[in-house]
Amino acid sequence: MSIHNLLEQAVAAQQAGAFSDAVRLYGLVLTEQPTNAVANYNLGVFSVGMEDFETALVLFSNAINANVEEKQYWLSYIDTLLRAGRLEDACRIKEEASARGIIDSE
């Protein structure tokens, strides 16, 4: 099965509320393509939902490294840093995203 098909199935499972299936399918994507931005990001979202902020931060960082222009990846990364109580890191990442023109500097 192609990566594209696995991602489609994972997103469909996620939207249907079949979260364990979605996590398994995203995991299969990452086994084949560890830098896949979508799989890293969506697993990061699941990790935040489980309050596993450290895992989420790694996954969001991977997503950003794979697709540096995706604003939502940066916003989720910053939000998770704040949830984890890492204000200085959140400010630093926000400044970096602003300098790249990804987010507003407000």
Note the pTM of the prediction, 2 decimals: 0.92
What does the alpha-carbon distance between residue 91 and residue 41 come to, in Å, rounded to a whole number? 20
Asked whether the beta carbons of 19 and 55 are under 8 A apart, the reply is: no
pLDDT at 106 over 70: no
pLDDT of the residue at 20: 93
pLDDT of the residue at 64: 98
pLDDT of the residue at 104: 86
* Mean pLDDT on 42-63: 96
Q: Where are the domains of the chain?
A: 3-99
What does the alpha-carbon distance between residue 57 and residue 48 come to, in Å, rounded to a whole number? 9
Which one of 3.60.21.10, 1.10.10.60, 3.65.10.10, 1.25.40.10 gives the CATH number of domain 3-99? 1.25.40.10
Query: Which residues have C-beta within 8 Å of that of residue 73, sequence separation ≥ 6?
Result: 37, 41, 60, 63, 64, 67
- Tokens 């604003």, residue located: 71
Comparing CA positions, the residue from 87, 106, 7, 91 lying closest to residue 15 is: 7
